[in-house]
Amino acid sequence: MQPEIRNPDIPETGEQFYSGALARISQFMLVLWVALTIAAAIRYGWRPALGFACGSAVAYLNFHWLKRVVTALAERITRGGRQSSGKGIILRFVFRYVLMGLAAYVILTVSPASLHGLLAGLFLPVGAIACEAAYEAYVALARGI
């Protein structure tokens, strides 16, 4: 299957634009992850930057796993496509929090100074969603909506 090539002369509909929001949020997360890790290393040193990078990794994985859980639940409710086991969905949901707790424990035992960075990194999706909101506002203003 080839990717759809968009003609710049044909404006995309609102539905097409908003359907790309999750992909854009993932891209914003990657950009913020790298940029803020570098900024944290320059400003606070390598330990908090390492904590931030670990927290960002957990947040990024958490975001993608949450997307998968929501999609699986939606498929299960609508009975379309491949049905996932209800127990498997719940186990993946709980595993996300176990992973965050384990990462916090490891960071705290190895370097307590990195814990603040880890906690800040867990908020990576919030920054990415704020970037997406700003982008959507810009596009709306540019289109004169």
pLDDT top residue among 106 and 34: 34
What is the CB neighbour count within 10 angstroms for residue 97? 10
Tell me which residue has tokens 């949020």. 25
What pLDDT band is residue 145 in, cutting at 50, 70 and 90? Answer: low
Q: Determine the Cα–Cα distance for residues 58 and 100; give it in Å rounded to an integer.
A: 6
The pLDDT assigned to 37 comes to: 95
Written as six digits, the tokens of 126 are 């919030």
Q: Which amino acid appears at position 107 of this protein?
A: I
Cα 91 versus chain centre, distance: 20
Decide: 76 and 83 in contact? Cβ < 8 Å. yes
Decide: 65 and 84 in contact? Cβ < 8 Å. no
**In Å, how far are 67, 81, 97, 99 from 86, measured between CA atoms?**
16, 15, 18, 20
**Per residue in 12-29, pLDDT tens?**
666 777 778 888 999 999
Written as six digits, the tokens of 80 are 């379309």
Q: Which amino acid appears at position 11 of this protein?
A: P
The pTM of the full predicted model, rounded to 2 decimals, is 0.71
Is residue 84 predicted with pLDDT exceeding 70?
no
Residues 6+ apart with CB under 8 A from 115: 51, 104, 107, 108
What pLDDT band is residue 125 in, cutting at 50, 70 and 90? Answer: very high
Among the ranges given (36-50, 91-105, 119-133), the one the predictor scored with the smallest mean pLDDT: 91-105
Of 68, 64, 69, 73, give the one whose Cα is nearest residue 125: 64
Is residue 61 predicted with pLDDT exceeding 50?
yes
